[in-house]
């Protein structure tokens, strides 16, 4: 139910704070999503979409930091 899917914001349609919509590409499948909760989103950003609403703009720096943390678990670390 709380499933949210990452997609890339392609473009932003007209609309005010309540009704602003964007076109979001999910690995090539393009759907419309409300941008009411991500006023800061810009085309090119990756957003997380839940029930037709973008709920956050994904942070690439933090994503890379998580992957770097995981990369430190090297097999040669074995005692």
Partner 1 sequence: MKYVDEFRDPAAARRCAEAIARIATRPWTIMEICGGQTHAIVRHGIDRMLPDGIALLHGPGCPVCVTPAGIIDAAIAIASRPEVTFCSFGDMLRVPGEGGSLLAAKARGADVRMVYSPLDALAIARAYPGRKIVFFAIGFETTAPTTAMAVLQAEREGLRNFSLLVSHVLVPPAIEALLGAPDNGVQGFLAAGHVCTVMGYWEYEPIARRYGIPIVVTGFEPLDLLQGLYLCIRQLEEGRAEVENQYSRSVQRDGNRTAQEVLTRVFAVQPQRWRGLGEIPASGLGLAPAYAGYDALLRFADVAVPPERHGECISGEILRGVKKPADCPAFGTRCTPEHPLGATMVSSEGACAAYYRYRRPRSTALAATGGTL
**Residues contributing to the site for partner 1 (CB under 8 A):** 1-4, 6, 18-19, 27, 34, 36-39, 46, 48, 50-53, 55-56, 58-60, 62-67, 69-71, 73-75, 77-79
Choice between 11 and 65, CB closer to partner 1:
65
CA distances from 2 to 42, 43, 74, 77 (A): 24, 24, 33, 36
Nearer to partner 1, 11 or 15 (CB): 15
The residues pairing with 24 across neighbouring beta strands, listed in sequence order, are 9, 31
CB 12 → partner 1: shortest distance, Å? Answer: 16
Query: Nearer to partner 1 by C-beta: 11 or 19?
Result: 19
Q: Supply the minimum distance, in Å, between the C-beta of residue 43 and partner 1.
A: 16
Residues 6+ apart with CB under 8 A from 25: 7, 8, 10
End-to-end CA distance of the chain: 42
């Amino acid at each position: 139910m709380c499933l949210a899917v990452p997609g890339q914001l392609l473009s932003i349609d007209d609309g005010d704070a309540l009704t602003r919509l964007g076109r979001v590409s999910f690995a090539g499948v393009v759907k419309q999503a409300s941008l009411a909760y991500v006023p800061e989103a810009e085309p090119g950003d990756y957003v997380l979409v839940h029930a037709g609403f973008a709920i956050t703009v994904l942070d690439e720096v933090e994503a890379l930091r998580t992957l770097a943390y995981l990369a430190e678990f090297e097999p040669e670390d074995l005692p």
